[in-house]
A and B are shown apart, each in its own frame.
Chain A
Amino acid sequence: MTEEAGLLDEARALDLPLVIGGHSFTSRLIVGTGKYTTNQIMVDAIRASGAEMVTVAVRRVDLDRSQEEGILHHLSPEEFFLLANTAGCYTAEDAIRYARLARAAGFNEWVKLEVIGDQTTLLPDVAATLVAAKALTEEGFKVMAYTNDDLITALRLEDAGCVAVMPLASPIGSGLGVVNPYFIREIKRRLQVPVIVDAGVGTASDACVTMEQGVDGVLMNTALAAADDPVRMSHAMKHAIVAGRLAYLAGRMPSREIAVPSSPVRGMLD
C-alpha cells in the first residue's frame, strides 16, 4: 500500500465521507486546474493531492492554437469529477450563460458559481451571485456558490438551493490564509449544506487551520500551482486537510496562558 492510499484509508476509518448534493467524496480537498506551468505537472499534482473533484473553466477554443489545447486532452473525466466554474463572469447573466455552456459539455449539471464584483480584490458580487444561484437551481443545476465570509449571504445561498456554500478564506490567489476564522465558524454552525472554504489558502498550515474551524472541505488552486514544487505541495496539502479535519473531530484541549505539568508533581526525590 502506498503512503497516499494509507492516509486516505486512515481518514476514511476515522471520518464520514463528504457528501455534496447526494455525491460522496472521500477526499475533503477540491483542487483547481489553472496556472500550472505544464499539463504533466498539473496531472501529477492533482493525483498527489488525492482530490476527486477538480474545477475547470469554460473558454473559447483558440483557433490559432497559440495557446494550450482543452484540458480534457490531459485530464480524464472518468478519473476526476469535473466541476465547471463561471470564473471571469461579472454579471449574473454571464455566469448563467457559462454554466449552461458547461452543462452542454455533457458531463454533469454541477457548477461552481462565481460572480466577481471587483477586479482588484476579485471579491464576489453577492447580489448577482444570489440572482444567478436562484436561476441555476431552478434550471436543475447543482450549484456550489463562491461567496465572501458573510453569514447572511451564506444563509440566502442555502435558501436558494445551493448544494454547497463556499466562503473565501481570503481573496483569490492571495495566499493569506483564513483572515476571519470566526465568521467561517459561524457560517459552518448555521448552515445545513456543506461549507467548503474556497480561495486564499497559501500553504499547508493554512489548510489545516481552515479545516480545524470545522468546515467540510477546502478548494484551492494557486497554493498548489504556484508552489515551487506543486507535486510536493499537493502531498503536503493532502496531509494538512486530513490533519485539520481529524483535529477538529478529536476536539482540541483548552488553551490557557499558564503552564500545567505533564508529569506527576508527587513522587519527586528529596
Chain B
Amino acid sequence: MNEATRVQVRINGKDRDVDAGHSVRSLIESLELHPSLVVVELNMEILARDSYGETPIQAGDSIELVHFVGGG
C-alpha cells in the first residue's frame, strides 16, 4: 500500500489509517456499517445524515460513530 494514499484519522477513540479520498458515507460503508443506523460526530459536530456523501474525510479528523444499544 502506498503511504501517500492513506491518511490517519481517529475513529471511536482509536487511530486508524484509512484510504485517502473517503467521504463520511464511503468510510462508514467501508467499515461494513449501515449509514442509516449510525450517527456521526465529526470533530465534535454532529453531521446531518444527508450530508454524509458530500463530507470528505481529512487527515487528523476525529470521528465518532454511535448507535443505539440496549439500556435502561
Contact A87 B71 (CB under 8 A): yes
B33 at interface, CB cutoff 8 A:
yes
Question: How many residues of chain A are within 8 Å of chain B by beta carbon?
Answer: 35
* A33 B65 Cβ-Cβ under 8 A: no
In whole angstroms, how far apart are the Cα atoms of A57 and B63 in the complex?
A: 19
User: Do A63 and B12 form a contact, CB below 8 Å, given A72-B37, A104-B46, A105-B39?
Assistant: yes
Residues on A with C-beta less than 8 A from B47 are 104
Residue of B nearest to A70 (CB): B67
Q: Please give, as numbers and ranges, the residues of chain B lying within 8 Å of A68 by CB-CB distance.
A: 69-70
When A and B form their complex, what is the total count of cross-chain residue pairs whose Cβ atoms lie within 8 Å? 94
Q: Are A61 and B66 within 8 A (Cβ)?
A: yes
Closest Cβ of chain B: how far from A217's Cβ, in Å?
15
State the interface size on chain B (CB cutoff 8 A). 23
* A190 close to chain B: CB less than 8 A: no
Point out the residues of chain B lying under 8 angstroms from A87, CB to CB. Answer: 71-72
* In the assembled complex, B6 has its CB within 8 A of some CB on chain A: no
The CA-CA distance from A79 to B69 in the complex, in Å, is: 17
Which residues of A are found within 8 Å of B11, using beta-carbon distances? 63
Q: Is there contact, CB below 8 Å, between B69 and A71? A: yes
| Interface residue SS majority, chain A | mixed
**Complex contacts, B33 vs chain A, CB 8 Å:** 61
B59 on the A face (CB < 8 A): no
Judge if A42 is at the interface, Cβ distance under 8 Å.
yes
- A32 and B68 CA atoms in complex are apart in Å by 12
Interface residues of B (CB under 8 A from A): 11-14, 31, 33, 37-39, 41, 46-49, 64-72
* Interface residue ranges, A against B (CB under 8 Å): 32-36, 42, 55-61, 63, 68, 70-73, 82, 84-85, 87, 100-102, 104-106, 172, 199, 219-222
Contacts A/B (CB < 8 Å), 10 sampled? A32-B71, A32-B72, A42-B70, A55-B71, A57-B72, A58-B68, A61-B66, A61-B67, A70-B67, A87-B71
Nearest 10 A/B pairs, CB to CB: A57-B71, A32-B72, A221-B72, A70-B67, A33-B70, A56-B68, A34-B70, A34-B71, A60-B12, A61-B65
